[in-house]
């Protein structure tokens, strides 16, 4: 019986890929809601719904919070809110795969800088070449607004990773999200409430609730299960597939047809992301938190 269970169990890489699909599907399906209530409104509602879910399933460990933790936890929450708004604003203007690839420059750059190796800077450079192929600036039809928002999301993701690593392993799992996602929702509300005001309806609220399950609730659960059975380095290598999955879902869901040279650009970003994980090792649980060195913030 135990042998049958082990064979029937989903492999950890399958859980990781399912998490990636959930993240990118949530992003793709957010586009329709963005048209109704704006990027800020979508971010606010999605984060608010996610915060409610996390608060229901996990009690925030307020008794464990020290005074020195407060600035970092607030920083994590504020950064999450800004990254979410920035990324959703980006996909309002540029294709999903392109936005994911640009945002991916953030963690790649952080990884390169933390390696203290000049050779590691090759990978962000390679990814940047891929982004240039994706945006094709030589055609003169570059959407600077979308690129700027995606670039801000990339910077935010890099800051998020750094702050998460500072928290260490004091706050892990859902308990960390039950502290930071409510702050993220409040941050997004500054932009989101004015955008969404007058456009809220039962249908909009239901759509936001569904998107909150797709992102961040379901991916977090899948990532947590995957990381219990694989190293952070292996997981991070799989995460490098995100730009490719974003491109694929952009094609299927949003009918965003990339050119052959854009396919090559995505390939360069994926290769750079996978190569940047080489030589890594599993260190502390803090590096496996959502938004840590191998996982996404909530885009």
HEC sequence for 103-116: HHHHHHHHHHHHHC
What residues contact residue 94 under an 8 Å CB cut-off, 6+ apart?
A: 135, 143, 146, 147, 150
Give whole-number Cα distances, 92 to 30, 76, 120, 140, 146, in Å.
Answer: 9, 24, 32, 19, 7
- Rg of the chain over Cα atoms, rounded to whole angstroms, equals 18
Identify which of 134, 100, 86 has the alpha carbon closest to the alpha carbon of residue 24: 100
pLDDT of amino acid 59: 84
pLDDT in tens, 54-109: 999 888 888 889 998 999 999 999 999 999 999 999 999 999 999 999 999 999 99
pLDDT of amino acid 169: 63
pLDDT in tens, 132-155: 999 988 877 789 999 999 999 999
pLDDT of amino acid 233: 77
**If you write DSSP's letter for every residue of 31-100 in order, what string do you get?**
HHHHHHHHHHHHHHHHHHHHHHHHHHHS---GGG--TTHHHHHHHHHHHHHHHHHHHHHHHTTS-HHHHH
pLDDT of amino acid 255: 96
In the chain, which residues have pLDDT < 70? 1-8, 168-169, 278-296, 298
pLDDT of amino acid 284: 46
pLDDT of amino acid 165: 77
Structure token digits, residue 164: 């998460």
């Amino acid at each position: 019986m135990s042998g049958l269970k082990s064979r029937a169990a989903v492999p950890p890489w399958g859980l990781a890929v399912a998490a990636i699909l959930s993240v990118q599907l949530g992003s793709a399906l957010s586009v329709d809601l963005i048209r109704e209530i704006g990027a800020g409104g979508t971010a606010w509602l999605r984060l608010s719904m996610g915060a409610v879910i996390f608060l229901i399933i996990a009690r925030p460990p307020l008794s464990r919070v020290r005074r020195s933790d407060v600035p970092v936890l607030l920083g994590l929450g504020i950064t999450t809110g800004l990254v979410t708004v920035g990324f959703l604003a980006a996909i309002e203007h540029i294709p999903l795969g392109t936005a994911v690839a640009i945002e991916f420059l953030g963690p790649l750059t952080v990884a390169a800088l933390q390696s203290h190796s000049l050779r590691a800077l090759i990978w962000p450079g390679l990814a940047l070449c891929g982004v240039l192929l994706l945006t094709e600036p030589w055609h003169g039809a570059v959407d600077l607004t979308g690129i700027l928002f995606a670039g801000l999301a990339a910077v935010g993701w890099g800051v998020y990773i750094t702050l998460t690593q500072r928290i260490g392993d004091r706050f892990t799992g859902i308990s960390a999200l039950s502290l930071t996602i409510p702050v993220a929702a409040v941050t997004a509300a500054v932009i989101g409430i004015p955008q969404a005001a007058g456009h809220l309806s039962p249908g909009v609220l239901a759509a936001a609730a569904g998107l909150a399950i797709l992102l961040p609730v379901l991916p977090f659960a899948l990532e947590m299960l995957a990381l219990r059975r694989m190293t952070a380095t292996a997981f991070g290598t799989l995460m490098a597939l995100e730009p490719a999955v974003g491109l694929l879902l952009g094609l299927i869901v949003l009918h965003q047809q990339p050119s052959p040279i854009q396919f090559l650009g995505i390939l360069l970003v994926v290769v750079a992301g996978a190569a940047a994980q080489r030589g890594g090792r599993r260190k502390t649980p803090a590096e496996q938190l959502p938004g840590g060195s191998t996982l996404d913030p909530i885009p």
